[in-house]
Amino acid sequence: MPIIATPANDEDIPRLFEIACSAFARNEHVWDIMWPEHWTPEGRAAGAARMLETKRTTPSTTYLKAVDTETNEIVGMAKWNLWENHKVVSSDPKKEWYFNDEKEWRYAKGIMESFLEERNKAIEERNGTLVSLDILTVDPKWQRKGVGEVLVKWGIEEADKRGVEAIVESSVFGRRLYEKNGGKGTPRRKVKKVNRTGGGDDKKLQAALKKMNVQPIPAIEEVNMFKQDGNVIHFSAPKVHASVPSNTFAIYGNGEDKELTELVPGILNQLGPDSLASLRKLAESYQSMQKSAEGEDKKDDDDDEIPDLVEGENFESKNDVE
């Protein structure tokens, strides 16, 4: 099964987008944000149309397809940016990408500003002349068969021809592939939240967040954290800062412990692109609570049919009278 990498045609784009969505599934939050509803037929069609528009209107971008030469099946894809004197410009997401959902659009805008910060810095440091790997994914059925390496080497060879550097932003899933092919860098970092008191500890935390270039995400109305005991830590209108490349989110505000029943069902339409499993679990939990409550109500109703005992009487004495 010899695999080759070659520039994709317009008619290949739906398959390329399908591969990317299948590979990321619901495991990469940034992908969910960049390509809303990509797991639905409507979102899949909208995403493929956006990708095709980029291909047609951006000469510096090359979409690659990895092809199994024995079957002609497209088994992987990549998006390489071949930049020369490229200038960093604002690339805010368009509201129509989010089906005109104002809250989803604002959230995505804040996340993307943080996510692109490191990339834009690398572009400026190299005066806009470099080769950048934007996306690389492989059909899950073809992973660990050398497909990704073929797509990586195509870009490295292009960089060598031009005498420039090749850069990549990697998730944890692709890091080993890039390191194997000469990539160097640092992994995404996480800040572990520790509940401590004292101004000194707070200053250390703020300094650590500053080093990660956390940026504010505007217009967050509420944040809910679901606990294992079924309760929720609820933040109303908190301040949220994030550094997506560092996989770090900071929430500032007064959290309140609330029961799930206090927030359901109003919270259901605020979950965003959470996993279907989590959504199903939440719904089942709510239904269980409802059934339990109905059972208690029914029990109380049945009790209403039982006459009160009169002081000094019991069931035996009643029977004796009769």
Pairing of strands 130-138, 73-83: antiparallel
Alpha-carbon distance 41 to 274, whole Å?
17
pLDDT band at residue 267, thresholds of 50, 70 and 90? low
What pLDDT score was predicted for residue 254? 84
pLDDT digits (tens, 9 = 90+) for 121-131: 889 999 999 99
Distance CA 272, CA 312 (A): 62
Average pLDDT, the chain: 78
Average pLDDT over residues 228-244: 81
What is the phi/psi pair of residue 40, to 5°? -110, 155
**275/112: higher pLDDT:** 112
Geometric angle at alpha carbon 8, from 184 and 169, rounded to 5°: 20
Residue 106 in this model has a pLDDT that exceeds 70: yes
Q: What is the pTM of this model?
A: 0.57
Q: According to the model, what pLDDT value does residue 292 have?
A: 61
Quick one: pLDDT band at residue 168, thresholds 50, 70, 90?
confident
302 is written with which tokens?
């049945």
pLDDT surpassing 80 at residue 205: no
Q: Is the pLDDT of residue 306 over 50?
A: no
Q: What percent of the chain has pLDDT over 70?
A: 70
What is the average per-residue pLDDT within 1-21?
96
The pLDDT > 90 percentage for the chain reads 37
Q: Look up residue 235 and give its DSSP letter.
A: E
Assign 82 a pLDDT band (cuts: 50, 70, 90).
very high
Residue 194: pLDDT band (50, 70, 90) is very low
pLDDT at 316 over 50: no
CATH 3.30.420.40 for the 3-86+128-180 domain, yes or no: no
Q: Across residues 155-165, what is the average pLDDT?
A: 94
280 pLDDT tier (thresholds 50, 70, 90): low
- The 3-class secondary structure across 87-138, one letter per residue, is CCCCCCCCHHHHCCCHHHHHHHHHHHHHHCHHHHHHHHHCCCCEEEEEEEEE
Domain residue limits, the chain? 3-86+128-180, 285-321
Question: Is residue 315 scored above 50 in pLDDT?
Answer: no
Q: Beta strand pairing status for 166-168 and 130-138?
A: parallel
Q: Which residue has the higher pLDDT, 73 or 178?
A: 73
- Which tens digits make up the pLDDT trace of 46-79? 999 999 999 999 999 999 999 999 999 999 999 9
Q: With a cut of 60, say whether residue 256 has pLDDT above it.
A: yes
More confident residue, 150 or 214: 150
* pLDDT above 70: residue 112: yes
pLDDT value, residue 237: 86
